[in-house]
Amino acid sequence: MVWSSVLDGIDNDALPAHQRAWLPQTRPLGLIEDTALIAAPNEFTKKVLESRLYPAISKALSAHLGREIRVAVTVDPTAVPTPPPTPTSPGSYGGPG
């Protein structure tokens, strides 16, 4: 998959771990000419991508696709599936057990 290869190609030294943590919350929506459209789950993540991560994402996409790629970010709350709730034991909330 192109997106996972691009994320793997982002320079770990140039991007601190606390900034890399935002990347799994994104999903590529498409490539329109030389602009990659990326979905973020909320406005805060969108702002982080546009301000702090834009250069790294653009550079990695450009290297992977062999041409200069710009990045546009949109908010899509369904961008990343919510993990299923963890089962709780019956006695953990006052049930029998």
* pLDDT of res. 22: 85
User: How confident is the model at residue 21, as a pLDDT?
Assistant: 84
Whole-model pTM: value is 0.73
User: Each residue of 53-65: pLDDT tens digit?
Assistant: 999 999 999 999 9
pLDDT of residue 25: 84
By CB atoms closer than 10 A (0-12, 13-18, 19+), residue 60 is: buried
Output the pLDDT for position 96.
Answer: 54
Note the pLDDT of residue 80.
65
Domain boundaries, given as residue ranges, for the chain:
2-6+18-79
Stretches where the chain sits below pLDDT 50 are none
Query: Under CATH, which number does the domain 2-6+18-79 receive?
Result: 3.30.300.180
Contact between residue 40 and residue 49 where contact means Cβ atoms under 8 Å apart:
yes
